Structure 1
Amino acid sequence: MNRPLSYDECNCFALRQAARFVTQIYERHMAQVGVTAAQFTILAKLARTPDLTMMDLADSMVMDRTTLVRALKPMQRDGWVVAEASEHDGRTYLFNLSKSGEQVFDQAAIAWREAQDEFESKFGKARAKALRSELFDVTAEG
Structure 2
Amino acid sequence: MAASRKDKKTSQKNSPSVCTCINLRRSSMAVSGLYDRYLAPSGLNICQFSLLKHLTVLGPVSVSELALEMRLDRTTLVRNLKALEQRGYVEDTSAEGSRNRCLTLTGSGKAVYNDAAALWEEAQLFLQESLGSADLQILTALLSKVEKLSL
**Does the CA contact (< 8 Å) of 1:76 and 1:82 recur in 2?**
yes
Equivalent residue runs for 1:84-123 within 5 Å: 84-85=93-94, 90-123=98-131
Deviation per residue, 1:89-108 (Å, 9 max, x gap): 82112112111111111011
Q: Could you state the TM-score of these two structures normalised by the residue count of structure 1? A: 0.85
Greater RCO structure (CA 8 Å; 6+ sep): 1
Is the CA contact 2:60–2:102 (under 8 Å) kept in the aligned structure 1?
Answer: yes
Alignment partner, residue 4 of structure 1: none
Q: Which has the larger radius of gyration?
A: 2
SS in 2 for 1:8: coil
Q: Distance in 1 between matches of 2:46 and 2:129?
A: 19
How many aligned positions are there? 135
Gaps of 5+ in 2: 1-15
- 1:119 Cα deviation after fit: 1.1
TM-score, normalised on structure 2?
0.80
Which position in structure 1 is the counterpart of 2:24?
15
After superposition, residues 1-142 of structure 1 pair within 5 angstroms as 8-85=17-94, 90-140=98-148, 142=151
* RMSD of aligned Cα (Å): 1.9
Helix, strand or coil: the match of 2:102? strand
Structure 1 unaligned residues grouped into runs of 5+: 1-6
